[in-house]
Amino acid sequence: MQLQPPGFAGTVFLLANRELGARLRSPWLYAVASLICLIAFFYGGGFRRSFETETVLVTTDPLAALNVMVMAVLAGVLGLRLATSIAWEREHRTLEVLLAGPVSPEAILAAKFAGEIVVLAMLTVTHIAYLLLAQPLGPGVIGPADAAAIGRMPLHALPLLALGLLVSTWAKTVRGAVMAYLSILALLIVHEIVLAALTAQSPQDLSLAGAWVRRILTAADTVIDPLSAVARIADLTTGLSVQTPLTPAQTGMALALTAATLAAAALALRARGAS
């Protein structure tokens, strides 16, 4: 009897299944699930508190800010998990074993990424289920259509997950990967926040230094924005301020950035190898 090695898809499926099994046995998944439910709980508390002094609120979607918050947390945490994934394998010499066998670097990356996408989907479903079941904003306030309004938002978390994977392919140790991922994340977040804060101010209220910084950041943003995973999360917050739904072009941009980052991760892993 001759054994046939599984193809690319089969390998990815097997590895992803192994990854997912490990995730499901890990307490952090349940901790993150509880964390996002608690975020919704406290957000609902804030919503309720506003009705202690006011009687009316007008909004297109009371969950919009919550959904953005939850997606940002999930993207950050899952991206961090992926940032440690390959680095952990490298640090513990298991990557060497995998690459020595009939497993391509692309299959390893695809499996890690697919496993995390399933986790992202599970946590998103947990968030929706919590909103419908616990009704944190008050009984009947959240209908199925409101909960489903999260729509394409999880797709905007993917570039950050891919960024984590890219960092992991290059890092030698888990510690190095975590530091690199958090540093890049912090820089991108600071850029987005400062630019958004300066853009939100009217020119009359802006100091000359503020106007100068805004000009610099706006110029830099033309380069940073298409490459920034945080900007794809920020697209969700832009929707909040303009009260319009996400455009397919914005989501398309998030998917394109994910694909490009994964391709870069594959190249980096091939170049770096197990060492």
Residues that bind other proteins (CB under 8 A): 27, 29-31, 33-34, 37-38, 40-41, 44-45, 48, 51, 53-62, 126, 130, 133-141, 143, 203-204, 206, 211, 238, 241-244, 247
* Rg of the chain taking only CA atoms, in angstroms: 21
| 179 vs 246, beta carbon nearer other proteins | 246
| 48 vs 92, beta carbon nearer other proteins | 48
| Residue carrying structure tokens 């406290």 | 42
DSSP H/E element including 3: none
Question: Cβ of residue 139: shortest distance to other proteins, in angstroms?
Answer: 6
DSSP 6: P
Residues in the chain: 275
| 34 vs 173, beta carbon nearer other proteins | 34
Collapsing DSSP to helix, strand or coil, 104 comes out as coil
Taking the C-alpha atoms of residue 201 and residue 196, their distance in angstroms, rounded to an integer, is 9
Question: Cβ of residue 39: shortest distance to other proteins, in angstroms?
Answer: 9
- In 3D space, the residue among 123, 74, 77, 72 whose CA is nearest the CA of residue 234 turns out to be 72
| 3 vs 208, beta carbon nearer other proteins | 208
Question: Cβ of residue 135: shortest distance to other proteins, in angstroms?
Answer: 6
Look up residue 166 and give its amino acid. L
| 47 vs 181, beta carbon nearer other proteins | 47
Taking the C-alpha atoms of residue 128 and residue 123, their distance in angstroms, rounded to an integer, is 9
Collapsing DSSP to helix, strand or coil, 98 comes out as helix
Question: Cβ of residue 40: shortest distance to other proteins, in angstroms?
Answer: 7
Question: Cβ of residue 35: shortest distance to other proteins, in angstroms?
Answer: 8
